[in-house]
């Protein structure tokens, strides 16, 4: 057996315990009341880096702390920067979890907990891969820097300036990120494209207070009705987005890429079944994979206003709100799209209400190179860890710092995924397949060896 795998086999139970402890910390970055848990989690990650022989520190920021560590003991050899995030998305709706989101539980092959796949389980596997490489090889074959942040799920507002300020210290030959997913069971993948993001909140205000819907309905505008019409105006038939100019900078899919997507072993029926939807839906003229990976979207993520309690209450709400995400593809610019959306919404808002638009976080779309030494090394390493070579795929999610790394450090990111597409990330019962967690450690240790060649 591969020495790397042997080492993982010998230590795997202990490491799983360590991951379970990390998953018990509710490090929810968008919740101000969790600041204490965020620091505790950062502290724990720093200890983990120290325990594997890295010089590590917790770096305070204006937001949640960043953890940085390095082990630079391979002069003349390449340097790899490993990135991950210890923050997680809020766990609600809580009543849909089979166990508490921060009470990690094994269910068959899977460990179920918020953050198990996105991203604590994944970056933990990379750290244990580093530990394995040191244990088996006596020393790391390349220089390694590790950067684990606590604000990925809110757009990485503190990390982007940190990377700029510390660009000399962070200099490297490759950035390695395991925050995507495999294509399916036993189908490891390298991701070369991610979507960008604009996240807006649209608030519509009408009367100064909630009113009796009989006495006042029909005589003043209902903000919830107006909001519904405005949202509808942003959508065109056949799954297209209706904001003027929205498609101006969309890079069309090329024939080679459509052919490549079509050749992937995508099980559409299983995909639809997993979602629970009656059938697939999306922009006409495109396949499901094309829609998921390469076409921009407009989606309401949350909608509130008026009476939402049990039963009926006849009321005309004073206010209604929608949280809206627009996922972008190359070469759409989030700043431009946000501006276009804002001016369209302002233009269509009737003067019977007042509107406010909040700009939450954003991210630029990503395409990284599929060529180069790091990609070749990753192909070989994945084959060693997973027993088969990776597929090349794109994804619909966003990772805000990928372009920042490219611009500040001049290095492309290598986007790996140890999780599976149906890991329920951001949903109830998030899970991580534990065999892949261990395979990921072997692949990581192998990658460090491959990069040294
Ligand atoms: N791990 C995801 C990104 C991802 C999702 C990659 C799906 C591949 C497939 C990441 O943690 C994430 O969720 N990012 C946010 C970023 C946003 C809040 C700026 C996202 O995509 O919603
Ligand atoms: Zn996420």
Helix (H) or strand (E) holding 452: helix 434-452
Q: Which residues are CB-contacts of 448 (< 8 A; sequence separation ≥ 6)?
A: 80, 129, 130, 133, 140, 141, 142, 144
pTM, two decimals, is 0.95
User: CA 136 to CA 148: how far, in whole Å?
Assistant: 24
The predicted-structure confidence for 126-150, as pLDDT tens digits, reads as follows 999 999 999 999 999 999 999 999 9
What tokens appear for 434 in the block?
A: 């534990």
Half-sphere exposure of 77 (CA within 13 A, CB side): 18
Q: How confident is the model at residue 1 (pLDDT cuts 50, 70, 90)?
A: low
Cβ atoms 20, 111 nearer than 8 A: yes
Report CA-CA distances (Å) from 408 to 158, 166, 168, 334, 336. 15, 9, 9, 19, 22
Residue 397, ligand 1, Cβ within 6 A: yes
Bridge partners of residue 147, in order along the sequence: 68, 83
Regarding the beta carbon of 180 and ligand 1, being less than 6 Å apart is answered yes
Q: What's residue 361's pLDDT?
A: 85
> How many Å apart are CA 125 and CA 132, to the nearest integer?
10
As beta bridge partners, residue 220 has 217
Quick one: tokens of 204?
């519509």
Hey, what domains does the chain have and what are their CATH numbers? 3-194+365-452 (3.40.630.10), 196-250+296-363 (3.30.70.360)
> Per residue in 51-105, pLDDT tens?
999 999 999 999 999 999 999 999 999 999 999 999 999 999 999 999 999 999 9
Q: Is 292 near ligand 1, meaning CB less than 6 Å away?
A: no
Compute the distance from residue 399 Cα to the ligand 1 centre, in Å.
5
- Locate 263 and state its tokens: 């050749």
Q: Does residue 177's CB lie within 6 angstroms of at least one atom of ligand 1?
A: no
Cβ distance 75 to 162 under 8 Å?
no
- Nearest ligand to the CA atom of 180: 1
| Centre of ligand 1 from the C-alpha of residue 96, in Å | 21
Q: Which residue has the tokens 């309690």?
A: 309
Cβ of residue 181 lying under 6 Å from some atom of ligand 1: yes
- How many angstroms is it from 83 CA to the middle of ligand 1? 14
Ligand 1 within 6 A of CB of 153: yes
Nearest atom, ligand 1, residue 89 CA: 13
Residues 180 and 122: beta-carbon distance below 8 Å:
no
Beta bridge partners of 197: 327, 363
Judge if the beta carbon of residue 87 lies within 6 A of ligand 1. Answer: no
Which ligand is located closest to the Cα atom of residue 326? 1
Q: What is the pLDDT of residues 415-452, one digit of tens each?
A: 999 999 999 999 999 999 999 999 999 999 999 999 99
Q: Report residue 195 CA to chain centroid gap.
A: 10
Nearest CA residue ID for atom 18, ligand 1: 153
For a ligand 1 pocket test, name from 122, 152, 338, 426 the mutation site with the most ligand atoms within 8 angstroms of its C-beta: 152
pLDDT per position as a tens digit, 145-172 = 999 999 999 999 999 999 999 999 999 9
Ligand (nearest to CA of 402): 1
Handedness of CA 52, 177, 43, 121 (dihedral sign): negative
CA distance 392 to 378: 12
């Amino acid at each position: 057996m591969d020495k790397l795998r042997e080492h993982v086999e010998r230590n795997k139970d202990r490491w799983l315990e360590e991951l379970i402890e990390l998953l018990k910390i509710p490090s929810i970055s968008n919740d101000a009341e969790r600041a204490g848990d965020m620091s505790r989690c950062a502290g724990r990650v720093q200890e983990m880096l120290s325990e594997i022989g890295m010089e590590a520190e917790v770096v305070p920021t204006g937001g949640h702390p960043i953890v940085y560590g390095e082990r630079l003991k391979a002069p003349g050899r390449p340097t790899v920067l490993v990135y991950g995030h210890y923050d997680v998305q809020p766990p609600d709706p809580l009543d849909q979890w089979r166990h508490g989101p921060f009470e990690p539980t094994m269910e068959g092959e899977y460990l179920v907990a918020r953050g198990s796949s996105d991203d604590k389980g994944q970056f933990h596997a990379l750290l244990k891969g580093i530990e394995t490489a040191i244990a088996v090889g006596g020393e790391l074959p390349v220089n390694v820097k590790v950067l684990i942040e606590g604000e990925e799920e809110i757009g990485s507002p503190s990390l982007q300036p940190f990377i700029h300020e510390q660009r000399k210290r962070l200099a490297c030959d490759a950035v390695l990120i395991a925050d995507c997913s495999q294509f399916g069971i036993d189908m490891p993948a390298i991701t070369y494209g991610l979507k960008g993001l604009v996240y807006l909140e649209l608030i519509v205000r009408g009367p100064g207070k909630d009113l009796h819907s009989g006495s006042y309905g029909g005589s003043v505008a209902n903000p919830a009705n107006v909001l519904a019409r405005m949202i509808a105006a942003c959508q065109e038939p056949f799954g297209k987005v209706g904001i003027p100019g929205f498609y101006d900078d969309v890079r069309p899919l090329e024939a080679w890429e459509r052919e490549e997507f079509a050749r992937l072993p995508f099980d559409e029926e299983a995909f639809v079944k997993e979602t629970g939807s009656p059938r697939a839906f999306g922009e006409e003229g495109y396949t499901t994979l094309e829609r998921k990976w390469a076409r921009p979207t407009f989606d309401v993520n949350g909608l509130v206003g008026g009476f939402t309690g049990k039963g009926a209450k006849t009321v005309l709400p004073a206010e209604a709100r929608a949280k809206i995400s627009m996922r972008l593809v190359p070469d759409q610019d989030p700043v431009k799209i946000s501006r276009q959306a804002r001016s369209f919404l302002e233009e269509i808002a009737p003067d019977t209400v007042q509107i406010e638009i909040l700009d939450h976080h954003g991210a630029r779309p990503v395409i990284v190179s599929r060529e180069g030494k790091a990609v070749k090394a990753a192909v070989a390493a994945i084959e060693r860890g997973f027993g088969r070579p990776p597929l090349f795929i794109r994804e619909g999610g966003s990772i805000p710092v990928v372009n920042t790394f490219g611009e500040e450090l001049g290095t492309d990111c290598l986007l790996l995924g140890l999780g599976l597409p149906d890991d329920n990330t951001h949903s109830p019962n998030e899970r991580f397949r534990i065999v892949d967690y261990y395979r990921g450690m072997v692949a990581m240790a192998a990658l460090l060896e491959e990069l040294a060649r």
